[in-house]
Amino acid sequence: MAKGKLTDRQRRILDFIQEFTSDNGYPPSIRQIGASVGISSTSVVNYNLNRLVEEGFLDRDKNVSRGIRLTDKLLKATGNLGEVIRIPMVGRIFASEPVHLPSTDSPMFGADEAIEITRDMLSSTDEVFALEVKGDSMIDAMVSDGDIVVMKRDYHWSNGDMVAVWLRDLEETTLKYIYHEGNTIRLQPANPTMDPIIIEDPKHLEVQGKVMLVVRQLA
């Protein structure tokens, strides 16, 4: 009963339950689960389901057909809570220091804070995370204190993207629209009354991520 040890089969069972429920609006039967993951015996499926209950990934109701319910633990971990994307709140963004990104390999399950956005507001779900902006130093990007910036880790930006860039010389992070112009790079503030920054040497800046969404909650 080692905590947290899931066999490959059990992971596939969880995946199937999630997908099936999402597709059909009701959970699969034991035999349907068995057929999907290649288990011929209903008792084996039953056995593994009970294991998953012990691990806290499932709730079951006895003597109820399809009486399976994914727990919040799993739904939140996979980020598939219905139509809602759960975006981990991984930290805050200061103008005076580079963005601290979570390491790629370590899962973001640990983040207890998160914001939730419906799926249709974002095109891609991978490598998305949120940052809370502290301080008024990004007002030229039309982002103010307390705003939440949803970013995608993506180093392949294209002209017109709003990106978070770390300026090595100035030692600060800013949010700017970015444009490639010949050998130089132009960083254009969102505020149209402010002047752009021209970077001669691309090595002087480091694109930290693409800004997908800015959310400001006031009340």
DSSP letter, residue 5: -
Active-site residue 137, yes or no? yes
The set of residues, in sequence order, having a beta carbon less than 8 Å from that of 100 and lying 6+ positions away, is: 90, 91
Nearest distance from C-beta of residue 132 to DNA, angstroms: 41
User: What is the Cα–Cα distance from 53 to 102, expressed in whole angstroms?
Assistant: 30
Q: Please answer whether residues 206 and 178 qualify as being in contact, where contact means their C-beta atoms are separated by less than 8 angstroms.
A: no
Q: For a copy of itself, how many residues bind (rule: CB under 8 A)? A: 48
Partner in contact with 42, chosen from DNA, a copy of itself, none, beta carbon below 5 to 8 Å by kind: DNA
**Minimum distance from residue 66 beta carbon to DNA (Å):** 5
- Residue 60, contacted partner among a copy of itself, DNA, none, CB below 5-8 A by kind: DNA
Tokens of 219: 């009340």
Task: Give the x/- contact pattern for DNA in 28-57, rule: CB under 7 A.
Answer: -xxxx------xxxxxx-xxx--x------
Minimum Å distance from CB 41 to DNA? Answer: 4
DSSP-derived 3-state class of residue 179: strand
As a three-state string, the secondary structure of 51-72 is: HHHHCCCEEECCCCCCCEEECH
Cα–Cα distance measured from residue 3 to residue 70, given in angstroms and rounded to the nearest whole number? 18
Judge whether 152 counts as a catalytic residue: no
- Residue 120, CA distances (Å) to 84, 123, 187 in order: 9, 7, 29
Closer residue to DNA in complex, CB, 39/89:
39
The sign of the dihedral angle between the CA atoms of 120, 123, 126, 127 is negative
Asked if 59 is part of the footprint of a copy of itself (rule: CB under 8 A), the reply reads: yes
Q: Any residues with CB less than 8 A from the CB of 156 and at least 6 apart, and which?
A: none
Q: How far apart, in whole angstroms, are the C-alpha atoms of residue 26 and residue 148?
A: 35
Minimal distance in Å, beta carbon 51 to DNA? 6
Of 103, 137, 152, 203, which is the active-site residue?
Answer: 137
Tokens 């307390």 belong to 146
Q: Closer to a copy of itself at the Cβ: 82 or 202?
A: 82
Smallest separation (angstroms) from DNA to the CB of 91: 37
Confirm or reject binding of residue 24 to DNA (CB under 7 A). no
Q: Residue numbers of the site for a copy of itself (CB under 8 A)? A: 21, 24-27, 29, 59, 61, 64-70, 81-84, 115-118, 120-121, 123, 136, 139, 142-144, 152, 161-162, 190-193, 210-219
- Provide the annotated active-site residues: 137, 176
Q: Residue numbers of the site for DNA (CB under 7 A)? A: 1, 7, 9, 29-32, 39-44, 46-48, 51, 60, 62-68
